[in-house]
């Protein structure tokens, strides 16, 4: 292409002919634009509007993607069992939505455990869920969660491998705790370490149920 500069006749000049540009050096690395807009086009970035949303992909225990209750003895679609004192086969595997004598499942949340409700070995059971903060500012993220029952103890709650400070082993039921730091861009992992009568020798039931609210600033 001959040397030229973009003039006002060259607006959206990808659809125009080179003849509209008469003088000056070429700008071969840019789309055809008016001369007065060339430098702005070099540095202009798409403006993104920040909005506050619920953390995408973060769900209560025992619910589907649309917030309906998962049937009893079915896999939880969002929580994975990653460690189990009971031999439940190859891990990781989906946690199981269970019934529990100390409460009911509803559309808000449901109990999950290592296997369909029944006695399992004493010891630790680790449950993890993941969510993606791509396109969000992780420094603005926060989660409020409450345990609506657990059997028998909550040993730890970790975000991306770091203790969140939620007190164990017996945090008050229905009390809201806040996680406001430790989030990262991209995939985040929230882990719940549940103890089933640690130190006891007898088999017995275990499980837990949580509800959460969350927010993060997203750019759209």
Lowest mean pLDDT among 70-84, 157-171, 195-209: 195-209
Q: Which domain holds residue 125?
A: 51-219
Distances (CA, A) of 178 to 12, 13, 125: 51, 54, 23
**Between 103 and 107, residue with greater pLDDT:** 107
Burial class (CB in 10 A: 0-12, 13-18, 19+), 115: buried
Q: Cα–Cα–Cα angle for 188, 59, 96, nearest 5°? A: 100
pLDDT digits (tens, 9 = 90+) for 124-146: 999 999 999 999 999 999 999 99
pLDDT value of position 8: 46
Task: Look at residue 1 and tell me if it is in a domain.
Answer: no
Collect all residues with Cβ–Cβ distance below 8 Å to 33 and sequence separation of at least 6. 6, 10, 11, 13, 41
Reference 110, options 82, 85, 75; nearest CA is: 75
Q: Are residues 14 and 114 in the same domain?
A: no
User: What integer pLDDT is reported at residue 45 of this predicted model?
Assistant: 56
pLDDT one-digit tens code per residue, 11-44: 444 444 444 444 444 444 544 444 444 445 444 5
Q: Is 114's pLDDT higher than 70?
A: yes
Query: Are 39 and 141 in the same domain?
Result: no
- Residues 167-217 pLDDT 10s: 888 999 899 999 999 999 999 999 999 999 867 778 888 999 999 999 999
Judgement on whether residues 25 and 91 belong to the same structural domain of the protein: no
Considering the domain architecture, whether residues 28 and 119 belong to the same structural domain is answered as no
Q: Please count the structural domains in the chain.
A: 2
39 and 146, same domain (yes or no): no
In the prediction, which pLDDT does 116 show?
A: 86
The stretches of the chain forming alpha helices (DSSP H) are 38-43
Choose among 57, 73, 75: nearest CA to 65.
57
Please list the residues that pair with 24 across neighbouring strands: none
In a domain, 195, yes or no: yes
Q: Is residue 92 part of a domain?
A: yes
Q: Which two tokens mark 187? A: 């995939």
Q: Are residues 27 and 85 in the same domain?
A: no
């Amino acid at each position: 292409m001959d040397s030229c500069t973009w003039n006002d006749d060259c607006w959206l000049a990808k659809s125009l002919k080179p003849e509209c540009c008469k003088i000056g050096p070429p700008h071969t690395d840019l789309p055809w634009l008016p001369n007065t807009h060339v430098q702005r086009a070099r540095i202009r970035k798409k403006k993104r509007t920040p909005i506050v949303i619920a953390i995408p992909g973060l769900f209560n225990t025992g619910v589907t993607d649309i917030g309906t209750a998962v049937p009893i003895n079915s896999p939880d679609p969002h929580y994975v069992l990653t460690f189990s004192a009971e031999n439940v086969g190859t891990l990781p595997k989906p946690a199981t939505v269970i019934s529990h004598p100390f409460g009911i499942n509803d559309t808000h949340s449901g109990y999950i455990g290592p296997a369909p409700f029944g006695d399992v070995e004493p010891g630790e059971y680790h449950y993890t869920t993941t969510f993606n903060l791509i396109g969000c500012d992780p420094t603005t993220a926060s989660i409020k969660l409450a345990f609506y029952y657990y059997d028998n103890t909550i040993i730890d709650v970790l975000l991306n491998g770091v203790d969140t400070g939620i007190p164990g082993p017996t945090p008050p039921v229905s009390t809201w705790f806040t996680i406001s730091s430790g989030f990262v861009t991209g995939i985040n992992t929230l882990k719940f370490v549940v103890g089933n009568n640690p130190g006891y020798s007898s088999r017995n039931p275990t499980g837990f149920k949580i509800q959460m609210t969350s927010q993060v600033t997203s750019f759209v």
